[in-house]
């Protein structure tokens, strides 16, 4: 069930459970997403709301990874997929893992890198970006927020994908990267606070002067979704 919907430029943001929303969506060019890994990443970090970090709450969203049938649906509804945390999920063998090197000092407890499963026809690639400077020093809105530069780098592997779906949108980082690269975006988020943060970030991204710096050459007018 769609609890709320916002259309911002070429982005459609949906508040709801993607397990219920996906069957009504039809096909998209690519799924670029960062699902719950099932490692309780939010636990103890605190939920980040519009009012700031609430370190008393315990997020439940990372308790379990998506089901096999969810991944089957994502692979069926799109030509291309880039799925962060792919090393945690039951996905087919692939030649191209994308690796985010967080450029962190040696640590026994913290991950120094994260991996995305893809069906991209490329050898494995590495992106180096300090995890601390997630958005070039800008505010962090979600406990497991990805840098938008990382998601923009991912989109570079999908030059012909016009409409990108992120069914686990969080604070909307994939959408921000889509705005900056002139792609259409559909995002779904189950948590109302993160949905609202995503709406604000995407609105803000459209107001930035560096938008459309790398818009793919396809000026043909098509229906939005």
Ligand X SMILES: C[S@@+](CC[C@H](N)C(=O)[O-])C[C@H]1O[C@@H](n2cnc3c(N)ncnc32)[C@H](O)[C@@H]1O
Query: Which residues contact ligand X by CB under 6 A?
Result: 17-19, 34-36, 61, 142, 144-146, 167-168, 170-171, 173, 188-191, 194
71 vs 168 by CB, closer to ligand X? 168
1 vs 121 by CB, closer to ligand X? 1
67 vs 218 by CB, closer to ligand X? 67
Q: What are phi and psi of 162, to 5 degrees?
A: -90, -40
Shortest distance, position 96 Cβ to ligand X, whole Å: 20
**Calpha distance 88→115 (Å, rounded):** 9
Q: What is the 3-state secondary structure (H, E, C) of 13-44?
A: EEEECHHHHHHHCCCEEEEEECCCCCCCCCCC
Using alpha carbons only, what angle is made at residue 2 by residues 181 and 41, rounded to the nearest 5 degrees?
65
Shortest distance, position 221 Cβ to ligand X, whole Å: 30
Of residues 112, 22, 114, the one with CA closest to residue 71: 22
Shortest distance, position 145 Cβ to ligand X, whole Å: 4
Contact predicate 78/165, CB 8 Å: yes
Shortest distance, position 186 Cβ to ligand X, whole Å: 12
71 vs 160 by CB, closer to ligand X? 71
Shortest distance, position 82 Cβ to ligand X, whole Å: 12
Shortest distance, position 220 Cβ to ligand X, whole Å: 30
Note the Cα 30 to chain centre separation in Å. Answer: 12
Token readout for 30 is: 């690519």
Of residues 164, 176, 140, 173, the one with CA closest to residue 52: 140
119 vs 174 by CB, closer to ligand X? 174
- Alpha carbon distance, N-terminus to C-terminus of the chain: 18
68 vs 95 by CB, closer to ligand X? 68
Instruction: Find the residue with minimal CB distance to ligand X.
Output: 170
């Amino acid at each position: 069930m769609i609890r709320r919907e916002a259309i911002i430029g070429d982005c459609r943001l949906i508040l709801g459970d993607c397990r219920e929303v996906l069957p009504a969506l039809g096909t998209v060019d690519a799924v670029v997403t960062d699902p719950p890994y099932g490692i309780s990443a939010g636990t103890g970090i605190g939920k980040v709301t519009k009012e700031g970090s609430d370190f008393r709450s315990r997020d439940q969203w990372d308790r379990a990874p998506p089901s096999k049938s969810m991944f089957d649906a994502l692979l069926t509804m799109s030509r291309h997929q880039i799925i962060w945390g792919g090393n945690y999920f039951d996905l087919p063998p692939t030649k191209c893992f994308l690796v985010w090197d967080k450029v962190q000092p040696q640590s026994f407890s913290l991950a120094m890198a994260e991996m995305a499963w893809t069906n991209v026809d490329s050898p494995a690639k590495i992106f180096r970006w300090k995890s601390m400077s997630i958005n070039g020093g800008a505010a962090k809105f979600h406990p497991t927020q990805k840098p938008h530069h990382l998601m923009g780098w991912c989109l570079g592997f999908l030059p012909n994908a016009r409409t990108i779906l992120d069914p686990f949108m969080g604070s909307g980082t994939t959408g921000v990267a889509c705005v900056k690269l002139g792609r259409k975006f559909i995002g779904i988020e189950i948590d109302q606070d993160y949905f609202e943060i995503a709406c604000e970030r995407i609105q803000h991204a459209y107001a930035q002067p560096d938008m459309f710096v790398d818009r793919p050459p396809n000026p043909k007018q098509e229906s939005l979704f």
